[in-house]
């Protein structure tokens, strides 16, 4: 570096320091969660406690859970007969804030969203069950619009959890079998390839959209939590994350049910089910054919807590 350039560099430092990204360490004391069964604390889909429950203890945070199992981002795009994020969960939260049922101080509150699994999976985009004309662009934009909507209500710290590698779940793997989520004939290899394209494309789109949105929201802290990378790491190196007493398993699941081909999934009497018990459960990446295990959720909770409290940046990118 030439000596004459040093004053210019020093002069630029205050400007750079004036644009911090992410909340201050230990600033966040309240966690508001939105999403589907991956986040539903009232009806955990991991056979134990969902990740927000663990995060509330690890933080510690005051937890305000609004995620609903089976939800999509918007029923105007991908319909499910449960409360979607945009038309159900968000309005409920805002109404409870307005009527005093819950109280939040936006400056120490983080809002999180983990959505997309039901939007893109069986009965929706993967199998053509979405509203006519709806594409992956629409469902991804809906999730990103959640940031814009919550910002307008006053939220300032956002954790946007991207989609995990659904192609690694037993439901969408190339070696999948007729199960509680889909027992009909299908080409498992084709589904696996298609789901890989869906998850990677949606995550790339959401990142680009959030990068474009962030400068338009002054005072906001927007973080992308890389669920895809975290679960890929757990799949590739399970001994660093799973700690059960059975052999480590990233392809099977704690609660597995193999159905006869074309059998009714509501009739479990026809299925051959195996269930891991006790500490053996913590050896599995997946709880059932679609959902992460409780041990996986503990890891998610630990890493999201570390990201929010600013003790680790490993799995999060703060855009603002």
Answer whether residue 211 is part of any domain.
Answer: yes
pLDDT tens for 180-236 read 999 999 999 999 999 999 999 999 999 999 999 999 999 999 999 999 999 999 999
For 209, the token pair is: 């959209």
First and final CA of the chain: distance in angstroms? 30
Strand order of the sheet with strand 157-161? Answer: 62-65, 30-35, 109-114, 157-161, 221-225, 316-318
**How many CB atoms are located within 10 Å of the residue 286 CB?**
26
- pLDDT at position 40 is 98
Residue whose C-alpha is closest to residue 166's, from 198, 188, 139: 198
- pLDDT at position 267 is 84
Instruction: Kindly report the average pLDDT of the chain as a whole number.
Output: 94
> Do 118 and 80 meet the contact criterion of CB atoms below 8 Å apart?
yes
Distance CA 132, CA 273 (A): 37
- pLDDT at position 5 is 45
Percent of the chain surpassing pLDDT 70: 94
10 has pLDDT over 60: no
**φ/ψ of residue 288, rounded to 5:** -130, -160
Answer whether residue 108 is part of any domain.
Answer: yes
Is the whole model's pTM more than 0.75, yes or no? yes
In 18-135, alpha helices (H): 51-58, 90-98, 117-120
> Do 286 and 170 meet the contact criterion of CB atoms below 8 Å apart?
yes
The helix (H) or strand (E) run that includes residue 194 is helix 188-213
For 143, the token pair is: 């999730």
Answer whether residue 6 is part of any domain.
Answer: no
Answer whether residue 9 is part of any domain.
Answer: no
> Do 234 and 296 meet the contact criterion of CB atoms below 8 Å apart?
yes
9 has pLDDT over 80: no
Number of domains in the chain: 1
Helix 90-98 × helix 136-153 angle, to 10°: 10
> Do 38 and 45 meet the contact criterion of CB atoms below 8 Å apart?
yes
- pLDDT at position 250 is 98
Distance CA 14, CA 36 (A): 42
Helix 227-236 × helix 294-309 angle, to 10°: 130
The helix (H) or strand (E) run that includes residue 149 is helix 136-153
pLDDT tens for 36-66 read 999 999 999 999 999 999 999 999 999 999 9
Longest dimension (CA), the chain: 80
Read off the pLDDT band of 20 (50, 70, 90).
low
Residue 269, classified by CB atoms within 10 Å of its CB into exposed (0-12), middle (13-18) or buried (19+), is exposed
Distance CA 103, CA 164 (A): 31
- pLDDT at position 12 is 40
19 has pLDDT over 60: no
Answer whether residue 145 is part of any domain.
Answer: yes
The pLDDT of 62-73, averaged and rounded, is: 98
170 has pLDDT over 60: yes
- pLDDT at position 123 is 96
CATH number of the structural domain spanning residue 81: 3.40.50.1110
The helix (H) or strand (E) run that includes residue 228 is helix 227-236
pLDDT tens for 265-318 read 888 888 999 999 999 999 999 999 999 999 999 999 999 999 999 999 999 999
pLDDT tens for 80-138 read 999 999 999 999 999 999 999 999 999 999 999 999 999 999 999 999 999 999 999 99
**Residue 8: cis peptide before it, omega within 30 degrees of 0:** no
Lookup result for tokens 């805002």: 94
- pLDDT at position 138 is 98
Answer whether residue 39 is part of any domain.
Answer: yes
CA-based angle 101:103:109, to the nearest 5? 140
- pLDDT at position 13 is 40
- pLDDT at position 266 is 85
Answer whether residue 318 is part of any domain.
Answer: no
Give residue 29's domain range.
25-309
Answer whether residue 183 is part of any domain.
Answer: yes
Distance CA 24, CA 103 (A): 21
The pLDDT of 23-36, averaged and rounded, is: 98
CA-based angle 195:200:206, to the nearest 5? 125
């Amino acid at each position: 570096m030439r000596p004459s350039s040093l004053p210019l560099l020093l002069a630029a430092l205050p400007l750079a320091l004036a644009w911090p990204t992410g909340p201050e360490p230990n600033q966040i004391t309240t966690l508001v969660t939105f999403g589907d069964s991956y986040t539903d604390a009232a009806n955990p889909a991991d056979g134990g406690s969902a990740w927000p429950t663990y995060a509330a203890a690890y933080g510690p945070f005051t937890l305000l859970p609004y995620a609903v199992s089976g939800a999509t981002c918007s029923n105007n795009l991908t319909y499910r007969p449960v409360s979607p994020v945009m038309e159900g969960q968000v309005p409920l939260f805002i109404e409870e804030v307005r009527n005093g049922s819950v109280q939040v101080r936006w400056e120490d509150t983080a809002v999180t969203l983990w959505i997309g699994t039901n939007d893109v999976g069986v009965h929706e985009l993967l199998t053509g069950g979405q509203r006519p004309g709806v594409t992956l662009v629409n469902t991804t934009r809906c999730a990103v619009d959640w940031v814009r909507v919550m910002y307008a209500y006053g939220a300032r710290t956002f954790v946007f959890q991207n989609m995990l590698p659904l192609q690694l779940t037993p439901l969408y793997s190339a070696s999948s079998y007729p199960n509680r989520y889909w027992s009909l004939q299908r080409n498992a290899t084709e589904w696996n390839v298609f789901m890989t394209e869906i998850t990677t494309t949606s995550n790339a789109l959401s990142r680009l959209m959030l990068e474009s949105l962030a400068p338009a929201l002054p005072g906001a802290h927007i973080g992308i939590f890389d669920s895809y990378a975290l679960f890929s790491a757990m799949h590739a190196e399970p001994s660093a994350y799973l700690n059960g007493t059975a052999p480590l398993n990233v392809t099977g699941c704690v609660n597995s049910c193999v159905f006869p081909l074309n059998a009714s999934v509501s009739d479990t009497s026809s299925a051959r089910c195996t269930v891991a018990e006790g500490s053996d459960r913590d050896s599995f990446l997946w709880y059932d054919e679609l959902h992460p295990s409780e041990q996986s959720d503990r890891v998610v909770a630990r890493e999201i807590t570390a990201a929010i409290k600013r003790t680790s940046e490993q799995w999060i990118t703060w855009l603002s």
